[in-house]
Amino acid sequence: MDRADACHGLVAGTHYINPYTGRAMGCRDAIAVLALWRRTILSNRRIAACAGMSLWKRRRIAELFATAPGSPPFIRRPAALRRLASRRGGAHARGVAVWATRMPRDLERMACQAGLEIWRVEDGFIRSVGLGSGLQVPCSIFLDRRGIYYDPSRPSDLEHILATHPFDAELRGRARALIERIVAGGISKYGVDTGGQDTMDLPGRAPGQRVILVPGQVSDDMSVRLGGGRIATNLDLLRAVRSQNIDAFILYRPHPDVDAGHRAGALDEAEVREYVDQISRGGAISTLLSRVDEVHTLTSLTGFEALLRGLRVVTYGAPFYAGWGLTTDLGPVPRARRHRNLTVEELVAGTLLLYPSYIDPVTRLPCEPEMLIDRIQDTRLWRPTFLMKVRELQGRAKCWLGRAGTRGVKDVKKG
């Protein structure tokens, strides 16, 4: 049998089954799946160990970093790196994967002594249905070998991709199709628009008045601390937005982690209403984006999601999507490194196709974002666990106690 006959048999004489859905698939698609799995395994074999990972997400991290067989070990003490490096021999392993906001003390020093690099891990932007702070495990992550996407003071893998990658027509076309799926499906970082709020009233808005959305952020979030520039709080941001947009109708949307009582950043509503026309709570952020003209933000991912929907975005900090010619930038963007103008399709290709890793929550196999979007839209897969329900109750209790404390302070001041 010559090569032509063999290739014909491979394509025409063989049936292929999609490992995620169980349905038939073509030969080319099967090869693409196998190539993805191979790239993932080879990349994961370069990880010597994982550190700074919360206990509740370790099983999922092990699945994302699977090396077939096994996965990198989780370490509690940086001193364990010296023993690991000598045992593994260093043939493949080059770095320690550490959760970017949970860097153990002395880890960098001990990694350097062991001849290993520090690689930072964070949640992806198409993640799950539910909050990470509510104990919903991620289905996508970033493993950044240069820095991390929200720290503009240093290069990151994402910034390098956006600044240098040759985005060809095929990749741009795939990104365009991905944008259409995200927008049509109401997909955001924490889930999907279920259609629960199809309308949103804007009482007091004058006909034709420009509507600006200001998304709140977690006050101690690293993207705010590292990328916020001179603005450090949500209230400072609201002051800045109002001072430059006197005639606009301004909506403020508290961060879901803050509203759930899991993170810091809650504001007194009376103070907020000095600068905004309405406070928006409940419903999907994708629904809210369909009702506004602009998004003004410090570093929020909502700005990126607004770009996908063709909205004007004004940045007051230095988020990863600023400085590429797509936003109006008022913050300290590192223009020396972000010297290239991108299209929205190129931004999405780098951010959602090339930078992250994804896992199918059903089969626990590496997958592409298109597959994860299909899973996110299946509500049966995202029922809250017992621990998630307990966490939700804890958040509600914290919010109630916070509001009660605020009322008590006001009563004392009045007295």
pLDDT digits (tens, 9 = 90+) for 301-332: 999 999 999 999 999 999 999 999 999 999 99
At residue 10, the pLDDT reads: 59
Average pLDDT taken over every residue of the chain: 86
Whether domain 169-382 has CATH 3.40.220: the reply is no
pLDDT digits (tens, 9 = 90+) for 228-270: 888 988 999 999 999 999 999 999 998 777 666 655 667 788 8
Please compute the mean of the pLDDT values over residues 207-215 and round it to a whole number. Answer: 95
At residue 415, the pLDDT reads: 45
Give the 3-state DSSP-derived string for the chain, with helices as H, strands as E and coil as C. CCHHHHHHHHHHCCCEECCCCCCEECHHHHHHHHHHHHHHHHHHCCEEEEECCCHHHHHHHHHHCCCCCCCCCECCCCCHHHHHHHHHCCCCCCEEEEECCCCCCCHHHHHHHCCCEEEEEEECCCCCCCCCCCCCCCCEEEEECCCCCCCCCCCCHHHHHHHHCCCCHHHHHHHHHHHHHHHHHCEECCEECCCCCCCCCCCCCCCCCCEEEEECCCCCCHHHHHHCCCCCCHHHHHHHHHHHCCCCEEEEECCHHHHCCCCCCCCCHHHHCCCCCEECCCCCHHHHHCCCCEEEECCCHHHHHHHHCCCEEEECCCCCCCCCCCCEECCCCCCCCCCCCCCHHHHHHHHHHHCEEEECCCCCCEECHHHHHHHHCCHHHHCCCHHHHHHHHHHHHHHHHHHHHHHHHHHHHHC
Percent of the chain past pLDDT 90, that is, above it, reads 59
On the question of pLDDT at 395 being above 80, the answer is: no
Please compute the mean of the pLDDT values over residues 187-210 and round it to a whole number. Answer: 72
Please compute the mean of the pLDDT values over residues 157-170 and round it to a whole number. Answer: 98
At residue 62, the pLDDT reads: 96
At residue 84, the pLDDT reads: 72
On the question of pLDDT at 367 being above 70, the answer is: yes
Please compute the mean of the pLDDT values over residues 280-302 and round it to a whole number. Answer: 90
On the question of pLDDT at 72 being above 70, the answer is: yes
At residue 399, the pLDDT reads: 61
At residue 319, the pLDDT reads: 96
pLDDT digits (tens, 9 = 90+) for 79-118: 888 777 666 544 577 899 999 989 888 999 999 988 899 9
> Higher-confidence residue: 94 or 410?
94
